[in-house]
Chains A and B, each alone.
Chain A
Amino acid sequence: MTEKQYTGQFHYEVTEAEPRPSLLYQRHLRLTKRSRMANFAGYIMPLWYSTPSKEHQAVRRAAGIFDCTHMAVLEVAGPGSTEFLHAVTSNDIKKLIDGKAQYSFVFDAAGNILDDIIVYRRGDEQYMLVVNAANESKIKAYFNALQNRRVVIDTETPEKQLEHQPRIRDMKDTFAGKDCRVDIAVQGPTTNAILCRLSDDLQIREKINSLTAFRFFETELDGINCIISRTGYSGSSTGVEVFVHPEKAVKLWDALMEAGKNFGLEPCGLASRDSLRIEAGLPLYGHELNGKHDISPFEAGYGWAVKLRKRFFIGKNQIKKRKNYKMQIVRLQTVSGKGTRPVRADDAVLNSKGECIGWITSAAAVDSDGFAQAYIDKKYAEEKKHLGIYYLARSKRQVEQGKKTSADLGDKLESETHGTIVSRSAKF
Chain B
Amino acid sequence: MAPKGLFFTENHEWIKLEGDTATVGVTDHAQESLGEITFVELPIEGKELSAGDEAAVVESSKAASDVYSPAGGTVTEVNNALEDNPETINESCYEDGWIWKMTVKDKSEVEGLIDEQAYNKYVEGLE
Contact = CB atoms under 8 A, between A and B. Distances in A.
Interface string A48-67: 10011100000000000000
B18 interface: no
Contacts of A271: 35, 61-62
A52 B54 CA distance: 28
Interface in B33-76: 33, 35-36, 38-39, 41, 54-55, 57, 59-62, 64, 66
Nearest to A54: B36
Interface string A377-410: 0000000000000000011111000000000000
B33 A52 contact: no
Contact of B62 (A52, A366, A397): A52
Nearest to A271: B62
Contacts of A52: 35-36, 61-62
A271 B35 CA distance: 10
Contacts of B38: 336-342, 365
Interface string B90-127: 00000000000000000000000000000000000011
Interface stretch (A32-40, A87-95, A125-133, A292-300): A32-40
Nearest to A269: B35
A51 to B, nearest CB: 6
Interface in A300-314: none
Contact of B35 (A47, A336, A398): A47
A342 B61 contact: yes
Contact of A338 (B35, B41, B64, B87): B87
A413 interface: no
A51 B39 contact: no
A424 interface: no
Of residues B39, B62, B84, B87, which shows the largest number of chain A Cβ atoms within 10 Å of its Cβ? B62
B71 to A, nearest CB: 17
A4 to B, nearest CB: 39
B85 interface: yes
A336 to B, nearest CB: 7
B39 A339 contact: yes
Nearest to A36: B32
A15 to B, nearest CB: 25
Contacts, number: 70
A344 interface: yes
Given A336-B38, A339-B39, A342-B38, A395 B59 contact: no
Contacts of A275: 61
A47 B62 contact: yes
A342 B36 contact: no
Given A394-B57, A395-B64, A397-B54, A33 B39 contact: no
A171 to B, nearest CB: 32
A35 B62 contact: no
B83 interface: yes
A342 B39 contact: yes
A364 interface: yes
A338 B62 contact: no
B90 to A, nearest CB: 9
A35 B29 CA distance: 8
B25 interface: no
Contacts of A53: 36
A422 B47 CA distance: 43
Contacts of B36: 51-53
A363 B59 CA distance: 13
Nearest to A37: B127
Given A395-B64, A397-B54, A342 B86 contact: no
Of residues A34, A275, A338, which shows the largest number of chain B Cβ atoms within 10 Å of its Cβ? A338
Contacts of A340: 38-39
A48 B35 contact: yes
A361 to B, nearest CB: 15
Nearest to A38: B33
B64 A339 contact: no
Given A52-B62, A339-B83, A339-B86, A35 B39 contact: no
15 contacts: A33-B32, A35-B32, A35-B33, A51-B35, A52-B35, A53-B36, A271-B61, A271-B62, A275-B61, A340-B39, A341-B59, A342-B39, A363-B61, A365-B61, A398-B57
